[in-house]
């Protein structure tokens, strides 16, 4: 166990969580390897001067998240599943988008790793009981859900999605909606229907790594336009579209991944105007549109569009769970028919059982209730993230201040020691997403994407404090100063 355990009785963080976090730190750093024995509840309670219930709660939390395992009569041990410093493909000299994406997905499951790399909701917040009730209901109609669904999507689910879309100012009939296997599949269908290998696609820089990976796989060429806090810089967009034929502009206007930026209403109107003048589609990825913390998100590009220039996509991956693989898109009519045909060719359609379950959950109002519950929790996590960055990063580091979504984008000074900051953090058992994979045309400036949705506040604090320590150490090495002593800062 940690040589010294720090307990701060005045902190907001409950004591059992403080204790659990310090065990995680020990395990992730390798100081407590798989199989190491934890002290007995009685012993640790007496040593720390806390109740046995506090220790039991700490151990219960560690056990439920897979860090430790208990065997009756033998004791409590670090889980045999814990792998410290596994060989991540993305930790090699060239971290490709595919390697980074593959690792991010695996890190979410890896024991002994704490990840702020994935822009995912916290599985602990999933409304399991309500959702499972809806799943159980399908048993009564097992014959009906046993077959294939229409390729466009279950009509009942499309009715519910049309209803939900009104919250985003989108007024469509169920017929206009195409259910997809997440936004990812919608984007793949668009890449196939709107472009040919060698074509140019415009995107924000930085943008969602999965999109860049996807279109490169289709042989398309992404070209980036810079972003400022109000959205894509329009002069740069115009320069590109005047110079060459682009097939579409992929944009995440609302709480963008990875920056968290939200495009201003004026910029949205100007972008629509530009798309009209030069005749290109805007592909609006609204995945984070309903994750607004401070004020309602601005109107979608789709709802402002008068000329069928916008194709709209979203899914339940950032609000319910990515594993559902259920999303939806709206496209102008002739294109929609082509997309349904491509969808049919791809996989015939999404699982009917899950579509009906989700439709029942939406019909009962489960989704809106869930959002009302999780938004304040995620807002607090955003706040803790920004406060901790403020107190733990050197002043040369900058970051975005998202008003929604799950991502924050950090920019470090271009100092050689910071170029491998991603790998340095991995060595300490913390995963962030390395910034270069989000850039259509990578440069040397070190960036990290930090996602704050999937960890509780005390874990976020600890991770950001550790990151701050690594940054200071690396900057000291670069400037020839002695590296500051590593201080395993107690929870604050
Ligand atoms: C902007 C953006 N679009 C699409 C996706 C993938 O979404 P889905 O799970 O719906 O395929 C992500 C996932 O992180 C994302 O951030």
pTM of the model: 0.88
Report the C-alpha gap between 197 and 219 in whole angstroms: 4
Q: How far apart are CA 366 and CA 362, in angstroms?
A: 6
Which ligand 1 atom lies nearest to the CA of residue 184? 11
CB atoms within 10 A of CB 355: 24
119 CB within 6 A, ligand 1: yes
* Nearest CA owner, ligand 1 atom 7: 183
The answer to whether the CB of 227 is under 6 A from ligand 1 is no
Please name the residue that has the structure tokens 């792998």.
Answer: 83
Instruction: Give me the sheet containing 327-330, strands edge to edge.
Output: 177-180, 327-330, 310-315, 281-285, 246-251, 200-205, 221-228, 231-232
Question: Ligand 1, from 101, 183, 347, 406: best to mutate by most atoms within 8 Å of Cβ?
Answer: 183
Atom 10 of ligand 1, residue of closest alpha carbon: 182
405 lines ligand 1 (CB under 6 A): no
Q: What is the DSSP letter of 149?
A: P
* Ligand 1 centroid from CA 263, angstroms: 18
Report d(CA 127, CA 403) in Å as an integer.
24
Residue in the structure block whose two tokens are 């994935």: 118
- Judged on CB neighbours under 10 Å (0-12, 13-18, 19+), 275 is buried
CB of residue 446 inside a 6 A radius of ligand 1: no
All structural domains of the chain, each given as residue ranges with its CATH number in brackets, are 15-78 (1.10.10.10), 90-126+369-478 (3.90.1150.10), 128-365 (3.40.640.10)
Contact between 200 and 245 (Cβ < 8 Å): yes
Q: Strands 75-78, 68-71: parallel, antiparallel or unpaired by DSSP?
A: antiparallel
**Per-residue tens of pLDDT for the chain, all 492 residues:** 666 788 888 887 889 988 998 898 888 878 888 899 999 999 999 999 999 999 999 999 898 878 899 888 889 999 888 876 667 777 777 788 888 888 888 887 777 778 999 999 999 999 999 999 999 999 998 888 998 999 999 999 999 999 999 999 999 999 999 999 999 999 999 999 999 999 999 999 999 999 999 999 999 999 999 999 999 999 999 999 999 999 999 999 999 999 999 999 999 999 999 999 999 999 999 999 999 999 999 999 999 999 999 999 999 999 999 999 999 999 999 999 999 999 999 999 999 999 999 999 999 999 999 999 999 999 999 999 999 999 999 999 999 999 999 999 999 998 888 888 998 898 888 999 999 999 999 888 899 999 999 999 999 999 999 999 999 999 988 888 766 554 444 332
Q: Is 253 in the pocket of ligand 1 (CB under 6 A)?
A: no
- Give 301 Cα–ligand 1 centroid separation in angstroms: 18
Query: Cβ(298) to ligand 1 under 6 A?
Result: no
- Report the C-alpha gap between 468 and 487 in whole angstroms: 11
User: Does 285 contact ligand 1 (Cβ within 6 A)?
Assistant: yes
Q: What are phi and psi of 374, to 5 degrees?
A: -85, -25
**Gap between the Cα atoms of 222 and 203, Å rounded:** 7
Give the nearest ligand 1 atom to 327 CA.
10
Ligand 1 lined by 287 (C-beta under 6 Å): yes
Query: If you measure from the C-alpha of residue 359 to the centroid of ligand 1, how many angstroms do you get, rounded to a whole number?
Result: 21
Would you call the peptide bond into 258 cis, given omega within 30 degrees of 0 as the criterion? yes
DSSP-H helix ranges across 244-396? 265-278, 301-304, 333-347, 352-363, 366-392
- Bridge partners (DSSP) of residue 77 are 37, 69
> Which of 108, 115, 120, 184 should be mutated for ligand 1, with most atoms under 8 A from CB?
184
Under 8 Å between Cβ of 193 and 335: yes
Q: Is 23 in the pocket of ligand 1 (CB under 6 A)?
A: no
Distance in angstroms (rounded) separating the CA atoms of residues 24 and 190? 43
Backbone dihedral region for residue 255 (phi beyond 0: left; psi -120 to 50: alpha; all else: beta) = left
């Amino acid at each position: 166990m940690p040589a010294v355990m720090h307990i701060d009785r005045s902190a907001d963080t409950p004591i059992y969580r403080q204790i659990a976090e310090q065990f995680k730190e020990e395990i992730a750093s390798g100081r407590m390897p798989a199989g190491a024995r934890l002290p007995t509840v009685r012993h640790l309670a007496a040593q720390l001067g806390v109740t046995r219930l506090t220790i039991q709660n700490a151990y219960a939390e560690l056990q439920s998240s897979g860090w430790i395992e208990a065997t009756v009569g033998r004791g409590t041990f670090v889980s045999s599943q814990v792998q410290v410093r596994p060989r991540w493909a993305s930790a090699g000299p060239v971290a490709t988008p595919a390697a980074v994406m593959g690792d991010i997905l695996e890190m979410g499951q890896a024991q002994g790793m704490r990840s702020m790399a994935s822009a995912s909701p916290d599985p602990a917040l999933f409304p399991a009981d309500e959702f499972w009730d809806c799943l159980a209901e399908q048993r009564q109609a097992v014959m009906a859900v046993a077959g294939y669904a229409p390729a466009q999507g279950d009509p009942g689910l499309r009715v519910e999605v049309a209803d939900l879309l009104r919250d985003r100012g989108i007024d469509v009939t169920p017929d206009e909606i195409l259910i997809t296997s997440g936004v990812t599949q919608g984007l793949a269908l668009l890449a196939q229907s709107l472009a040919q290998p060698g074509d140019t696609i415009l995107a924000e820089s930085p943008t969602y790594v999965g999109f860049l990976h996807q279109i490169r796989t289709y042989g398309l060429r992404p070209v980036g336009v810079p972003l400022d806090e109000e959205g894509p810089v329009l002069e740069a967009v115009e320069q590109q579209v005047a110079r060459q034929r682009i097939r579409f502009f992929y944009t995440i206007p609302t709480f963008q991944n990875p920056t968290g930026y939200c495009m201003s209403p004026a910029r949205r109107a100007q972008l629509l105007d530009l798309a009209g003048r030069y005749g290109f589609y805007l592909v609006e990825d609204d995945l984070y549109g309903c994750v607004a913390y401070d004020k309602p998100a601005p109107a979608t590009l789709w709802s402002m569009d008068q000329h069928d220039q916008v194709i709209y996509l979203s899914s339940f991956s950032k609000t319910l769970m990515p594993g559902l693989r259920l999303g939806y898109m709206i496209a102008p009519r002739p294109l929609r028919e082509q997309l349904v045909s491509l969808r049919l060719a791809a996989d015939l359609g999404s699982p009917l059982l899950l579509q009906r379950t989700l439709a029942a959950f939406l019909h009962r109002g489960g989704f809106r209730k869930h959002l009302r519950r999780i938004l304040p929790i995620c807002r607090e996590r955003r706040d803790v993230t920004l406060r901790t960055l403020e107190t733990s990063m050197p002043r040369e580091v900058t970051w975005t201040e998202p008003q929604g979504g799950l991502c924050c984008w950090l920019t470090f000074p271009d100092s050689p020691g910071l170029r491998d900051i991603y790998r340095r953090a991995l060595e300490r058992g913390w995963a962030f997403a390395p910034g270069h994979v989000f850039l259509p045309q990578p440069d040397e400036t070190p960036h990290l994407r930090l996602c704050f949705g999937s960890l509780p506040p005390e874990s976020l604090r600890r991770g950001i404090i550790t990151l701050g320590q690594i940054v200071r150490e690396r900057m000291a090495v670069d400037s020839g100063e002695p590296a500051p002593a590593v201080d395993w800062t107690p929870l604050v």
